Structure 1
């Protein structure tokens, strides 16, 4: 039942759903026909084999337009699809390391991060401390700074290294000028 309530809020009132006694009517071509009783506005719409749609409910009196509602809904759905198609979805990719990471493993993770940043994704770099390693958190911070330095041509530090529990986390975002080259 909640789903129906949500869809009714989105949809406009059409024809007999309009409860106002008087409405301001706008013709198909945008010409104002003036304020008239709802019955007369409905009759005008039916004569033209179109719908009477309330477009401005908060106005005094409410504003209704004579239009083909089915065609209007179709055009709006096409515009929504087009807008969704043009959106860029940014994902967050995570790279995990330890403070005692070897050089080759470090470079493999740098390569992965560069690929993620080129694709326009954000990168969350996590260092996981085990056992007593947490006492030497400065080593983890140095590793993260070295990592940020290695990917600086493609990405920039969005959130500097911070400790959250037994993890140290840093966020990297793609540089804006690298995204425009695609």
Structure 2
């Protein structure tokens, strides 16, 4: 992006500080108008014939561009994917810890891929693995939906969970625990 003296063409289509077109003017005249207003002549469309230049505050212009870029990044949906592995015989406490992690990830808007891994002789427990997968989906339905029914792929039962829209998400598994008061006597 060229500004002020770096604009090397003879004539430019100038746009004034108020946004009104000034028409095709010599570059020197457009630069003089910009300097009388204490602003810069900025080439915004170099490929046009003649090039389009605006009279504006260049620092403010860069700030506005950066601000617009930040805003657009803020509204982009992040597509992070988290993966959690379970086993058919995962203990109840470990199961709840992993469920809380899954709920946290989903509440933050991340997709979660859950794998129930079947090792060795656990392949005989495919029905139990599918039942556990349905239980996981049921326990997380307040924060996510399953993309498809759980299915056995190789030695794993795969479940892909997508978070619900922000307004419909709620927390059930992650309850804030009350703080314990210190017990004991002071002597």
TM-score, L = length of structure 2: 0.70
Tell me if the contact between 2:13 and 2:23 (Cα under 8 Å) persists in the aligned partners: yes
1:29 and 2:27 matched? no
1:69 and 2:58 matched? yes
SS in 2 for 1:13: coil
Structure 1 residue 158: Cα displacement: 2.6
Which structure has greater helix proportion?
Answer: 1
Aligned length: 170
Larger Cα Rg: Structure 1 or Structure 2? 2
SS in 2 for 1:169: strand
1:51 and 2:40 matched? yes
TM-score, L = length of structure 1: 0.71
Alignment match, 2:110:
121
| 1:133-172 Cα shifts (integer Å, max 9, x gaps) | 4576554333222211222122111354455664433221
Unaligned runs of 5+ in 2: 172-187
Unaligned runs of 5+ in 1: 1-11
Structure 1 residue 97: Cα displacement: 0.5
Tell me if the contact between 1:99 and 1:128 (Cα under 8 Å) persists in the aligned partners: yes
In 1, Cα distance between the equivalents of 2:75 and 2:36?
40
SS in 2 for 1:117: helix
| 1:111-154 Cα shifts (integer Å, max 9, x gaps) | 43334333433322112232354576554333222211222122
